[in-house]
């Protein structure tokens, strides 16, 4: 390939990389600004933390929602 084409493709690739990096930096800064102002992404999750219960099989604490999901998954199938 001629050197001018290689340089052109290199410049094009560098421009695309810079564009992606700037886009990501702006996204991260916007997220940090939201956190700095105190506006949480999900305010409900901060108000009511999940209740932890000990899993009888493993002994590790789990949330009530995940324990209920496991119980439903392991339950016997319903007869119709």
Q: What's the pTM?
A: 0.44
Instruction: Label residue 21 by pLDDT band (50, 70, 90).
Output: very high
- pLDDT score for 66: 57
Strand (E) or helix (H) holding 68: helix 64-74
* pLDDT higher than threshold 80 for residue 33: yes
Place of tokens 């421009």: 15
């Amino acid at each position: 390939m001629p050197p001018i084409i290689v340089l052109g493709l290199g410049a094009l690739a560098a421009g695309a990389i810079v564009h992606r990096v700037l886009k990501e930096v702006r996204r991260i800064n916007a997220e940090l600004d939201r956190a700095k102002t105190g506006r949480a992404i999900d305010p409900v999750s901060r108000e009511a933390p999940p209740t932890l219960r000990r899993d009888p099989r493993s002994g590790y604490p789990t949330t009530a929602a995940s324990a209920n999901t496991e119980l439903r998954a392991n339950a016997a199938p319903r007869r119709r």
